[in-house]
Amino acid sequence: MRKIILITGGQRSGKSTKAEELALSLSPNPVYLATAHIWDEEFRERVRKHQERRGPQWTNIEEETQLSLHDMTGRVIVIDCVTLWLTNFFFANNSDVDKSLELAKAEFDKFTEPDATYIFVTNEIGLGGVSENAIQRKFTDLEGWMNQYIASKADVVILMVSGIPIKIKDNSDNR
């Protein structure tokens, strides 16, 4: 049975840790689908530490945009994270919000067709003030609209606040 879970919150709120714990509670060998583009050495080191922390029971896949290239039927997958995934669309499409959103929605729909458990991690970047930077405002719009789209499709949505999970949607029992 297909299930979509969205875990959202601010930076360092515990989203990835919660997603990994949840995945391991559902499968002895979950998949970690990393969407990050490695921009610099500091970020490469951050990724290495994440991989090291996860351990050998994980199947690690790196995919910057085309998630649907990977058949995840029957698996439990952590997709970390929507923010970095959208960044890849945003820069590939010259900051065109509408085109990036259209492509990301289509890819999300295609990727989540097979029966699997999908655990998406995303950031709530729009909780702060409005940026003075036009590009940042455009990206915040893109992120907010995509988060809303995923949340509308999700069976469960969890908001992480200071390491504490708050379930804000749970339709998993209403099937």
70 is catalytic: no
Find, among 160, 147, 120, 159, the residue nearest to 12 by Cα. 160
Q: Of how many residues is the chain composed?
A: 175
State the alpha helices, DSSP H only, in 32-94: 41-54, 82-92
Complete edge-to-edge strand list for the sheet that includes strand 59-62: 59-62, 31-34, 76-80, 117-123, 3-9, 156-161, 164-170
User: If you compute the radius of gyration of the chain from its CA atoms, what whole number of angstroms results?
Assistant: 15
**Catalytic hit among 50, 54, 105, 137:** 50
Question: Would you name the residues annotated as active-site residues?
Answer: 50
